[in-house]
Structure 1
Amino acid sequence: MSEGKKTKLVTAGRDKKWTHGVVNPPVQRASTVVFNTVAEKHHATVNRANQTLFYGRRGTETHFAFQQAMVDVEGGAGCALYPCGTAAISNAIISFVEQGDHILMVDTCYEPTRDFCDKILKKLGVETTYFDPMIGAGIADLIQDNTKILFCESPGSITMEVMDIPTMAEIAHQKEVIVMLDNTWAAGVQFNPFEHGVDISIQAATKYIVGHSDVMLGTAVASEQYWDQLREQSYLMGQCVSPDDAYLGLRGLRTLDVRLRQHEQNSLTVAKWLESRPEVDHVRHPGLPSCPGHEFFNRDFNGGNGLFSFVLKTSYPRATTALLDGMKHFSMGYSWGGFESLILANEPKSFNSLRTVANPNFEGTLVRVHIGLEDVEDLIADLEAGFERYNALILEKAVQS
């Protein structure tokens, strides 16, 4: 009988060879690893890719424990570590492409992912085709003879579309296309990547894995077929992380389940409250029927988290500013996944640069929120006060008109 998810998060990466008799693996800081004999050095050289102390960039026991924990949690054959989520995305892609290749990229990807494709891959002679996240089986029509990667992100960045990953992965594999997924929203536990056809699962561990908004960290867990190439290519590109950061990622895993459940409970409460607001056109929360791909969320995901968005009925930047500026419990910041609540707004025209084939064409402002671990009644009161400020400016505009 396999272990439950909660148990796995508590026990993952806690092998006695890493913990040395204590609960948490010690932080082992090292650049140079020294050997007492030629035989020891030879053994380390031969086994340097297999969690053996060889050189600091290959990792220390702290790194090995976190890498093993990520494999225990997500599946796959191995985990590469990166200094941030963007580094994990870019290095995973570039590890498998060369000049003349083609990749398929979901149009609702994280903005830096799009920039990497348009500004770096293009310069290297790798072509990118963006596709609608709801394309499903239609992805078959976009696969070319030189397509190497199908890159997905589900739910989509900002607009939260949930993709039909299993169907698309099956089609991609028929053409020997590698399936990569930005699995940050699901934190590696709310969506099981390798059970749904993903070959490489990527996360900004900065977000929910660390969980406290104080570490930049990226991970990429690969299947056995692609692990060796991902590991060696990433090593050659100099990718490594601080053992202190790896330790904090490992520590964050221990409370990941309980944090996600509270984030999800709070966010659903706020999302349903927002659905009742007259200012709101619709809510884009994967757990609600109003979210595109909600049926795939119900089918494939184990749960949700605190990140979602909602669309206002109008677009009036002055009113949106009034809504945001007076918040007590929501802060504005370019991240999410920590214990705190965050809020940001995107006016409709901003999507012209973020989307090329799946522009949602909102008439109103989209507001993205991350619902933290505060008392949900306080968060709702904060949003309610924000709507009062918002409505005052909307009324002022109507009177002036």
Structure 2
Amino acid sequence: MVRQREIFFFALRQERRSDDVFSSLRPERKQREAMAIFRGNVVLDIQTFRQGKSMTDKHIETALVQAGRAKRYTQGSVNSVIQRASSLVFDSVDAKKQATAGRAQGELFYGRRGTLTHFSLQEAMCELEGGAGCALFPCGAAAVANTILAFVEQGDHVLVTNSAYEPTQDFCTKILTKFGVTTTWFDPLAGDDIAKHLQPNTKVVFLESPGSITMEVHDVPAIVAAVRRTAPDAIIMMDNTWSAGILFKALDFGVDISIQAGTKYLVGHSDAMIGTAVANARCWDTLRENAYLMGQMADADSAYVTSRGLRTLAVRLRQHHESGLRVAQWLAAHPQVARVNHPALPGSKGHEFWKRDFSGASGLFSFILDKRLSDAELAHYLDNFAHFSMAYSWGGYESLILANQPEELAEIRPAGGVDFTGTLVRLHIGLENVEDLIADLDAAFRRIA
């Protein structure tokens, strides 16, 4: 696989303040040198992949600012316009014919096909992820469910990672089974041996990397190679939310469709819900028409705030990476912590694949306490944080915390069982001062000592 990259190095000293973390830009070097993550300093390897008509001459920061901002979409303003519409008026019969002919190629036709606000976001996502087209959905779960549905029918088989997001698992076990579609689960650390799970009727292979809650990173190149060799017609799709579609360029690695809960990092402010699915040319027509026939769309306001969120995404992700890694390293050294599940830490499952394939880390990870907390201890632990809030979702500017007991997680994993006995805590590290967050966690450990 040939991938063109521009590689930039940002040296992070743990003791530095956040405002000078990215001040030391090193010269471009060979790709193999970019893989050094821990050499005294913590090195963040930001790789700007070149993909598509515009990414070939733009760094990712510039692309994020400029993508989807053609004058057609901005009408002379800085941001894209918010065009709320169900009916779109045609000036003439010829105009109606033209719109009808081009309704799947960005012509204004009917609100469910999209408006300028939607087209702006879709164009931006295709540029950023290197796709042929982008379907928009009301949330991430809708993006996952409808993307799978677009490629299966009665009698088909799907192969899904055992560490997929719980609603993805539930969709497979509770909805797909009604349509006569079977599901098999594979170990998230499977590489070439994923081939043993492929069946003659396997139509979809579904990845999520890192995995939900336990953060295992796939060996995506090995998985893709095995699938292409054994089941070349199968569609490989991936929940790529953790990387925001830019820290891991899924389509560059041979994945057919990159799916995101844009609710998380794309929106970035915990105030809108949206899902995206960026497909390659092989899959785009099928995905587009199935999403349309299933009535899937996002409202114009959510599309607008998602486009606006893209403009600050690079800056936010850098801070999430730095602060998240600082907290993860602090936790790894804490005597009350048995294990930290952070892809950028050596020893985390699939770390070597993250190090090889990803260009950075986001702010979501988990850790396991050295004991199982009682219900009372867990409530005392969670109820008294000053800077971490308890809430579902993640990806906003705020820090969040949730916990799972080992038996709870084992119950929701299709293959059953977990390899730990202590309470698992999931963190999303936001944009607060990292020393405040560490102090908050330190106080929590004292509460359960």
For residues 85-110 of structure 1, what are the alpha-carbon distances to aligned partners after superposition, in whole Å with 9 as ceiling and x for unaligned?
00000000000000000000000000
Check conservation: 1:172, 1:178, Cα contact below 8 A: no
1:187 aligned onto 2:222: no
Aligned 8 A contact 2:236 2:256 in 1: yes
Q: 1:130 aligns with which of 177, 185, 194?
A: 185
Q: Distance in 2 between matches of 1:233 and 1:248?
A: 25
The answer to whether the Cα contact below 8 Å between 1:151 and 1:180 also exists between their aligned partners in 2 is yes
Q: Which runs of 5+ in 2 are unaligned?
A: 1-55
Give the Cα separation in 2 of the matches to 1:93 and 1:6: 31
Match of 1:109 among 159, 164, 168: 164
Given candidates 267, 271, 289, the residue that maps to 2:324 is 267
2:220–2:253 Cα contact (<8 Å) kept:
yes
Letter matched to residue 166 of structure 1: P
Per the alignment, residue 308 of structure 1 pairs with: 365
Kept in 2: contact 1:108–1:358 (CA 8 A):
no
Q: For residues 101-156 of structure 1, give each alpha carbon's deviation from its aligned partner in whole angstroms, at most 9, with x where no partner exists.
A: 00000000000000000000011100000111011111111110000010000000
Q: CA deviation at 1:308?
A: 0.4
Distance 2:379 2:254 in 1: 43
User: In the superposition, relative to structure 1, how do residues 358 and 194 fare at CA in structure 2: closer, same or farther (>3 Å)?
Assistant: farther
Q: Distance in 1 between matches of 2:91 and 2:269?
A: 41
Per-residue Cα deviation, 1:178-230 (whole angstroms, up to 9, x for no partner): 10000000000000111111100000000000000000100000000100000
Amino acid at match of 1:330: F
CA distance in 2, matches of 1:345, 1:36: 57
Distance, in Å, in 1 between the alignment partners of 2:202 and 2:114 is 33
Tell me how far apart the structure 2 counterparts of residues 331 and 119 of structure 1 sit (CA, whole Å): 31
Residue 347 of structure 1 and its aligned partner are, at CA, apart by 0.4
Map 1:143-292 onto structure 2 (within 5 A).
143-174=198-229, 175=231, 176-292=233-349
1:117 is paired with a residue of what secondary structure? helix
Deviations 1:234-276 (A, max 9, x none): 0000001110100000000000000000011001111111111
Contact 1:282–1:290 (CA<8 Å) still a contact in 2?
no
In the alignment, structure 1 segments of 5+ residues that lack a partner are: 392-401
Q: Secondary structure at the match of 1:34?
A: coil
On the 8 A contact 2:410/2:416 being kept in 1, the answer is no
| Aligned-residue offset at 1:355 | 1.5
SS in structure 1 of the partner of residue 301 of structure 2: helix
Aligned equivalents of 2:254 and 2:145: distance in 1?
21
> Would you say how many aligned residue pairs link Structure 1 and Structure 2?
391
Q: Distance in 2 between matches of 1:236 and 1:357?
A: 34
In 1, Cα distance between equivalents of 2:268 and 2:221 = 28
Counterpart residue identity of residue 360, structure 1: V
Contact 2:126–2:133, Cα closer than 8 Å, also in 1: yes
Q: Would you say the 8 A contact 2:132–2:278 is kept in 1?
A: yes
In structure 1, what is the equivalent of residue 154 of structure 2?
99
Match of 1:351 in 2: 409
Name the counterpart of 2:141: 86
> What code does the residue aligned with 1:96 have?
F
RMSD: 0.9
Shift of 1:2: 2.3
The residue number in structure 1 matching 2:380 is 322
Quick one: distance in 2 between partners of 1:2 and 1:349?
A: 50
| Aligned counterpart, 1:298 | 355
CA distance in 2, matches of 1:2, 1:304: 24
- Name the amino acid aligned to 2:269: H
8 Å CA contact 1:132, 1:358 repeated in 2: no
CA contact (8 A) 2:192 2:225 kept: no
Give the distance between the partners of 1:173 and 1:52, measured in 2 at CA.
35
Which stretch shows the higher mean deviation, 353-362 or 219-228?
353-362
* One-letter code aligned to 1:265: E
Equivalents in 2 of 1:291, 1:231: separation in Å?
A: 37
Residue 365 of structure 1: aligned partner: 423
**Residue type of the alignment partner of 2:150:** S
**Partner letter of residue 259 of structure 1?**
R
| 1:394 paired residue number | none
39, 58, 61: which one aligns with 1:3: 58
Q: Distance in 1 between matches of 2:277 and 2:447?
A: 43
Tell me which amino acid in the other structure corresponds to 1:86: A
Give the alignment's TM-score, normalised by structure 2: 0.86
> Per-residue deviation at 1:170?
1.7
CA offsets, 1:51-74, max 9 Å, x none? Answer: 110000000000000000000111
CA 11–358 in structure 1, closer or farther in 2 if over 3 Å, else same: farther
CA contact (8 A) 1:209 1:252 kept: yes
**How far apart are 1:358 and its partner, in Å?**
6.5
The residue aligned with 2:127 is 72
Q: Percent of aligned positions with the same letter in both sequences? A: 57
- How many angstroms does 1:327 deviate by? 0.4
Letter in 1 for 2:133: G
CA contact (8 A) 2:139 2:262 kept: yes
Helix, strand or coil for the counterpart of 1:50? coil
CA distance in 2, matches of 1:374, 1:363: 31
Matched, 1:336 2:391: no
Paired AA for residue 149 in structure 2:
I
* Cα distance in 2 for residues equivalent to 1:166 and 1:136: 8
In 2, the alpha carbon distance for the partners of 1:359 and 1:20 equals 55
Q: Give the aligned residue type for 1:228.
A: D
Using CA pairs under 8 Å that are at least 6 residues apart, name the structure with larger relative contact order, 1 or 2: 1
